């Protein structure tokens, strides 16, 4: 997944999608479970999941009739790191991050 800072920002720039991301951050959830937890219609949730998928922010596992989603934490960390390097290069936090990445 080639990093595109605008695509990444657009993907997370919505309250509903951030709710979805929070729900499936550290576990696998089916679309139905996400619908229950977030509270929009199933097509709306599927629409948002497609946007997250196209940006590379979720991992997908199909199992019979169901599709499970889980947040792609590694890639999200990379995206945030890249944005810090691009837009906050002179901060100590970013300098430390760069040190960790390069070691």
Cα–Cα distance measured from residue 52 to residue 98, given in angstroms and rounded to the nearest whole number: 26
Q: Which of 66, 73, 91, 96 is the binder for DNA (CB under 7 A)?
A: 66
17 burial level (CB within 10 Å; 0-12, 13-18, 19+): buried
Phi, psi of 50 (to 5 degrees): -65, -40
Interacting partner of 1 out of DNA, its own copies, none (Cβ under 5 to 8 A depending on kind): none
Q: Which residues lie below 8 Å from residue 92, measured CB to CB, with a gap of 6+?
A: none
Interacting partner of 90 out of its own copies, DNA, none (Cβ under 5 to 8 A depending on kind): its own copies
- Of the candidate spans 29-37, 38-46, 59-67, 71-79, the one that interacts with its own copies by CB under 8 A turns out to be 71-79
Cα–Cα distance measured from residue 31 to residue 42, given in angstroms and rounded to the nearest whole number: 7
* Rounded least distance, CB 57 to DNA, Å: 14
Nearer Cβ to DNA, position 13 or 100? 13
Site residues for DNA per CB under 7 A:
10, 13-17, 30-32, 35, 40-44, 46-51, 64-68
């Amino acid at each position: 997944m080639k990093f595109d800072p605008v695509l990444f920002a657009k993907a997370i720039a919505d309250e509903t999608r951030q709710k979805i991301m929070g729900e499936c951050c550290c576990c696998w959830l089916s679309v139905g479970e996400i619908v229950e937890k977030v509270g929009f219609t199933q097509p709306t949730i599927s629409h948002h999941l497609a946007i997250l998928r196209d940006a590379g922010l979720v991992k997908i596992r199909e199992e019979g009739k169901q599709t499970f989603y889980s947040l792609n934490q590694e890639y999200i960390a990379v995206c945030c790191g890249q944005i810090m390097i691009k837009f906050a290069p002179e901060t100590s936090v970013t300098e430390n991050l760069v040190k960790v990445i390069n070691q």
